[in-house]
Chain A
Amino acid sequence: MAQAQQERKTDIGPPHYEKHLPPVVKKNYGKWKYHEILKPGVMVHVAESGDKLFTVRAGSPRLMSTKTIRWYAELADKYCGGHLRFTSRNNVEFLLTEEGKIDPLIAELKANGFPVGGIGNAISNIVHTQGWIHCHSAATDASGIVKSVMDELEEYFSSTKLPGKLRIALACCLNMCGAVHCSDIAILGVHRRPPKVDHSRLPKICEIPSVVASCPTAAIRPATVDGAKSVEVDEDRCMFCANCFTVCPSMPLNDPLNDGVSIWVGGKVSNARHEPMFSKLAIPHIPNNPPRWPEVVDAVKNLVEVWAANARPHERMGEWIERIGWPRFFKLTGIEFTKYHIDDFKHAGLSYKRSAHLKY
Chain B
Amino acid sequence: MADDNGKRQTPKLDELTTGPWPSFVREIKQAAETNKMSGDLLGQLELSYEEKIGHWKHGGIVGVMGYGGGVIGRYSDVPDKFPEVAHFHTMRINQPAAWFYTSDALRKLCDIWEKHGSGLTNMHGSTGDIIFLGTVTDELEPTFSELTQAGFDLGGSGSDVRTPSCCVGPARCEWACYDTLNCAYDLTMSFQDELHRPAFPYKFKFKCAGCPNDCVASIARADMSIIGTWRDEIQVDQDAVAEYVDSGMDIQSDVVMNCPGKCMKLEGRKLHIDDKDCVHCMHCINTMPKALAPGKDRGACILLGSKAPIVEGALLSSVLVPFIKMEPPYQEIKDLVEKMWDVWCEEGKSRERIGEFIQRVGMGNFLEAIEVEPVPEMVAAPRDNPYIFFEEFYEEGDEEEEEENE
Residues of chain B contacted by A74 (CB below 8 angstroms): 103
Instruction: Give the contacting residue for B124; candidates A90, A115, A291; CB below 8 A.
Output: A90
Complex CA gap A8/B312 in Å reads 42
1/0 contact trace for B41-65 toward A, CB 8 Å? 1000100110111111111000001
A290 lies within 8 A of B351 (CB): no
Closest A residue by C-beta to B104: A82
Residues of chain A contacted by B55 (CB below 8 angstroms): 132
1/0 contact trace for B340-351 toward A, CB 8 Å? 000000000111
Complex CA gap A291/B118 in Å reads 23
B22 lies within 8 A of A61 (CB): yes
A270 within 8 A of B: yes
A154 lies within 8 A of B20 (CB): yes
A30 within 8 A of B: yes
Complex CA gap A290/B12 in Å reads 8
B170 lies within 8 A of A150 (CB): no
A288 lies within 8 A of B101 (CB): no
1/0 contact trace for B174-202 toward A, CB 8 Å? 10100101000100110011001000000
Residues of chain B contacted by A227 (CB below 8 angstroms): none
Total residues of chain B contacting the partner, CB 8 A: 124
- With both chains docked as a complex, state the minimum distance between the C-beta of A181 and any C-beta of chain B, in angstroms: 5
B308 lies within 8 A of A64 (CB): no
B100 within 8 A of A: yes
Complex CA gap A74/B110 in Å reads 13
A273 lies within 8 A of B281 (CB): yes
Complex CA gap A270/B13 in Å reads 36
B215 lies within 8 A of A88 (CB): yes
B366 within 8 A of A: no
Closest A residue by C-beta to B176: A30
1/0 contact trace for A140-181 toward B, CB 8 Å? 010110111011001001000000000000000011111101
Q: A34-B174, A127-B126, A179-B220 are in contact. Are A64 and B27 (CB under 8 A)?
A: yes
Q: Which of A1-40 contact B (CB under 8 A)?
A: 6, 8-17, 19-22, 25, 29-30, 32-36
- With both chains docked as a complex, state the minimum distance between the C-beta of A85 and any C-beta of chain B, in angstroms: 5
Instruction: Give the contacting residue for B148; candidates A9, A35, A151, A241; CB below 8 A.
Output: A9
A73 lies within 8 A of B106 (CB): yes
B110 lies within 8 A of A83 (CB): no
Residues of chain B contacted by A313 (CB below 8 angstroms): 253-254
B90 within 8 A of A: yes
B314 lies within 8 A of A181 (CB): yes
Instruction: Give the contacting residue for B105; candidates A10, A20, A143, A292; CB below 8 A.
Output: A20
1/0 contact trace for A253-295 toward B, CB 8 Å? 0111001000000000111111110100000000010111000
Residues of chain B contacted by A291 (CB below 8 angstroms): 12-13, 15-16, 49
1/0 contact trace for B97-117 toward A, CB 8 Å? 111111111110110011000
Closest B residue by C-beta to A259: B52
B216 lies within 8 A of A88 (CB): yes
Instruction: Give the contacting residue for B107; candidates A70, A83, A134; CB below 8 A.
Output: A70
A147 lies within 8 A of B21 (CB): yes
Instruction: Give the contacting residue for A69; candidates B94, B106, B259; CB below 8 A.
Output: B106
Complex CA gap A141/B41 in Å reads 14
- With both chains docked as a complex, state the minimum distance between the C-beta of A167 and any C-beta of chain B, in angstroms: 9
A230 within 8 A of B: no
Q: A11-B153, A11-B192 are in contact. Are A136 and B15 (CB under 8 A)?
A: no
A84 lies within 8 A of B58 (CB): no
Q: A63-B122, A69-B121, A214-B311 are in contact. List 13 more A-B contacts (CB 8 A).
A: A6-B145, A17-B98, A61-B22, A70-B110, A73-B103, A83-B102, A84-B101, A131-B54, A147-B24, A175-B310, A216-B310, A291-B49, A314-B287
Give 26 pairs: A residue, B residue, CB < 8 Å, sorted on A: A8-B65, A10-B148, A14-B95, A20-B105, A25-B100, A34-B289, A36-B290, A64-B27, A82-B102, A86-B124, A87-B99, A115-B20, A132-B49, A138-B54, A150-B21, A177-B308, A216-B311, A249-B57, A269-B217, A270-B212, A271-B214, A272-B281, A276-B220, A291-B16, A292-B15, A312-B253
